[in-house]
Amino acid sequence: MSKTLIVLNAGSSSIKFVVFDVTEGKPVNMATGQVEGLGASVSRFTAKDGEGQSLGEKDFDKASGAISTHTQAVDLILKWIDDTFPGTEVVAVGHRVVHGGVRFTKPVQINDDVVAALEELTPLAPLHQPHNVAGIRAAQAAFPGVPQVAVFDTSFHRGHPFVNDTFAIPREYYNEGVRRYGFHGVSYEYVTRRLKQIAPLDAEGRVVIAHLGNGASMCAVRYGHSIASTMGFSALDGLPMGTRCGNLDAGVLLYLLDQKGLSSSEIREILYSKSGLLGLSGISQDMRELEASDKREAREAIDYFVFRVRREVGALSAALDGLDAMVFCGGIGENSWRVRERVLQGMQWIGIDLDEEANHRNARLISSPLSRVRVYIVRTNEGLMIAEHTLTVLGLAAPEIQAFSADGTAAQRPSA
């Protein structure tokens, strides 16, 4: 009987999943899919195989049985796996969890104490954490007795020096957890490990990674460990995103509250869902649509995005005392040669010389042989990272994966 591992990423209205064959202790992607539209009048199940070919899709409405809870969605996924891959045993479930607070500096096997601790972190990530916990509970009910592991988006950043972990507000807030946690850590860890395989010397140096997707952030990595991130207390800070504002003067919040009389939920809606590329362009949150548009507002939204990324290349290089390599990942970072070209143009001052032709091809190395700083594109794979951590935590990983994971997740705290 073959062995299967499932990775779940539970959001407010969707659950994404990846199914891996782990019979040999190394995750092999069998299927990726999602249930979206939880609680909506129509929910949709889709799944693809490891090559991206459709394995099935189905809509659910009132007549065919609406999917309104995480439990129903997980049950649906489980049934689909049973039907599609008969004769396989689910041996583990790995969960992507947005917030690990200061306690969880590496992946952990889930038990009642861990679930309670994750729930306690809800005030730090009220839009995400409750759904992650609901996904864990649903999976515990659907796979009784199957070990489950939580992998955190914050862990990779927990070794930040104090200056990159705090805000300059009264210290009591830092002590109660108002810190610069940083997110996208699962992606950054995966990319850092891939870089070790692709370019081991660069991976040992000073690296800026730009995860540019619908959510976007950048991270400064030194000797394989994160020392600074553009995201802070929440996933709002730093770069502008599809619909999130990015870096914002706190005075703007006071203005919206005091002068415009907006409520906190109205402000939340603006900052999370109506800002970023969508808010600036008034057209779309999608970079492809903006690149295809000839409207001035679309161009200005891209200009702002590119400008902020360029600023952060400089800022994070300063935090690293220099730059040896840069990596692009995420939907925009991996696919938009235009954005990469504009970010990297005129960066000879920092040692970057772009190979335009390689950049057009989305090649792995896009800097020219003259470039002192190497620039790479690495396709991120958060599902695989979570699967490897899950196997390692449970002692089910093949020796080479165990060895790789033995590095630990969070850095030793370096001096500032």
- Residue 286 in the binding site for ligand ADP (CB under 6 A): yes
Three-state secondary-structure class, residue 295: coil
Q: How far is the CB of 330 from ligand ADP (least distance, A)?
A: 4
Is 334 labelled a binding residue?
yes
What number of other Cβ atoms are within 10 A of residue 350's Cβ?
16
| Contact by Cβ (8 Å): 117, 148 | no
Q: How far is the CB of 137 from ligand ADP (least distance, A)?
A: 24
Kindly tell me which of 232 and 330 has the beta carbon lying closer to ligand ADP: 330
Report which of 333, 357, 400, 377 is spatially closest to residue 199, judged by C-alpha positions.
377
Query: Binding-site residue total for ligand ADP (CB under 6 A)?
Result: 13
- Helix, strand and coil percent figures for the chain, each rounded to 5: 40, 20, 40
Residue 223 structure tokens: 């000797």
Residue type at 26 in one-letter notation? K
Rg (CA), the chain: 21
By CB under 6 A, name the one of 33, 101, 213, 246 that touches ligand ADP: 213
Q: How far apart are CA 230 and CA 303, in angstroms?
A: 18
The helix (H) or strand (E) run that includes residue 15 is strand 14-21
Three-state secondary-structure class, residue 90: strand
By CB under 6 A, name the one of 27, 100, 135, 215 that touches ligand ADP: 215
Residues 147-186 touching ligand ADP, rule: CB under 6 A, are none
Q: How far is the CB of 236 from ligand ADP (least distance, A)?
A: 14
Kindly tell me which of 119 and 286 has the beta carbon lying closer to ligand ADP: 286
**Cα-based distances in Å from 322 to 159, 309, 326:** 19, 17, 11
Q: Are strands 206-212 and 325-329 parallel, antiparallel or unpaired?
A: parallel
Is 333 labelled a binding residue?
yes
- Residue 34 in the binding site for ligand ADP (CB under 6 A): no
Report which of 361, 365, 381 is spatially closest to residue 373, judged by C-alpha positions.
365
Kindly tell me which of 281 and 336 has the beta carbon lying closer to ligand ADP: 336
Binding pattern for the stretch 222-261 against ligand ADP, x by CB under 6 A and - elsewhere: --------------------x-------------------
Q: Could you tell me which stretch among 71-79, 259-267, 280-288, 386-394 binds ligand ADP (CB under 6 A)?
A: 280-288
Show the DSSP H helices in 57-147 as ranges.
Answer: 70-84, 112-120, 129-142
Kindly tell me which of 286 and 353 has the beta carbon lying closer to ligand ADP: 286
Is 232 labelled a binding residue?
no
Binding pattern for the stretch 334-363 against ligand ADP, x by CB under 6 A and - elsewhere: -xx---------------------------
Binding pattern for the stretch 289-308 against ligand ADP, x by CB under 6 A and - elsewhere: --x-----------------
- Residue 279 in the binding site for ligand ADP (CB under 6 A): no
Is 205 labelled a binding residue?
no
Is 335 labelled a binding residue?
yes
- Residue 46 in the binding site for ligand ADP (CB under 6 A): no
Is 332 labelled a binding residue?
yes
Active site residues: 153
- Residue 287 in the binding site for ligand ADP (CB under 6 A): yes
By CB under 6 A, name the one of 33, 182, 330, 383 that touches ligand ADP: 330
DSSP per-residue letters across 205-245? SEEEEEEESSSEEEEEEETTEEEEES--SSTTSSS--SS--
By CB under 6 A, name the one of 103, 288, 364, 372 that touches ligand ADP: 288
Q: How far apart are CA 94 and CA 403, in angstroms?
A: 19
| Contact by Cβ (8 Å): 57, 44 | yes
Which residue ranges make up the annotated binding site for ATP?
16, 211-215, 286-288, 331-335
Residue ranges in contact with ligand ADP by CB under 6 A: 213-215, 242, 286-288, 291, 330-332, 335-336
